Amino acid sequence: MNDQPILRLGTRRSPLALAQAEETRARLCASHGWDSNMVELVPVVASGDKVTDRPLAEIGGKALWTKELDQWLADGSIDAAVHSLKDVETIRPDSLHIAAILPRADKRDRLIGVASFDDLTEGAVVGTSAPRRAAQLLNLRPDCKVVTFRGNVATRLGKLEAGEAEATFLAAAGLERLGQDDVGVPLDPELWLPAPAQGAIAIECRADDARAREVLAVLDHAESRAEVMAERALLLGLGGTCHSPIAVLCDHDAGELAMRVALFSPAGQERVESTARFAVGDLQSPRQLGIDLLENAPSGITAVFNGLQ
Ligand SMILES: NCc1[nH]cc(CCC(=O)O)c1CC(=O)O
Residue among 20, 52, 87 to mutate when testing ligand 1 (max atoms within 8 A of CB): 87
Query: Is the distance from the beta carbon of residue 109 to the nearest atom of ligand 1 less than 6 Å?
Result: no
Q: Which domain holds residue 241?
A: 232-305
Global ipTM: 0.96
pLDDT digits (tens, 9 = 90+) for 200-216: 999 999 999 999 999 99
Same domain, 96 and 204: yes
Q: Looking at the structure, do residues 86 and 214 belong to the same domain, yes or no?
A: yes
Ligand 1 close to Cβ of residue 178 (< 6 A):
no
- 288: domain CATH number? 3.30.160.40
Residue 145 resides in a domain: yes
Residues 98 and 204 in one domain: yes
* Ligand 1 mean position, distance from CA 133 (Å): 12
In a domain? residue 2? no
pLDDT number for residue 97: 98
Query: Over 90: is that where the pLDDT of 47 sits?
Result: no
For 218-265, the pLDDT digits (tens) are 999 999 999 999 999 999 999 876 678 999 999 999 999 999 999 999
Residue 175 alpha carbon to ligand 1 centre in Å? 9
Residue of minimum CA distance from atom 5 in ligand 1: 84
For the CA of 56, the closest atom of ligand 1 is 1
pLDDT of residue 53: 64
pTM of the model: 0.93
pLDDT at 192 over 60: yes
What per-residue confidence (pLDDT) applies to 293? 94
Asked if 255 and 292 sit in the same domain, the reply is yes
Q: Which atom of ligand 1 approaches the CA of 87 most closely?
A: 4
Q: Mind listing the pLDDT tens digit for each residue in 140-171? A: 999 999 999 988 999 999 999 999 999 999 99
Mark whether 72 and 18 lie in a shared domain: yes
SS (H, E, C) the chain: CCCCCCEEEEEECCHHHHHHHHHHHHHHHHHHCCCHHHEEEEEECCHHHHCCCCCHHHHCCCHHHHHHHHHHHHCCCCCEEEEEHHHCCCCCCCCEEEEEECCCCCCCEEEECCCCHHHCCCCCEEECCCHHHHHHHHHHCCCCEEECCCCCHHHHHHHHHCCCCCEEEEEHHHHHHCCCCCCCEECCCCCCCCCCCCCCEEEEEECCCHHHHHHHHCCCCHHHHHHHHHHHHHHHHHCCCCCCCEEEEEEEECCEEEEEEEEECCCCCCEEEEEEEEECCCCHHHHHHHHHHHHCCCHHHHHHHCCCC
Specify whether 275 is located in the same domain as 157.
no
Q: Are residues 78 and 155 in the same domain?
A: no
Residues 122 and 208 in one domain: no
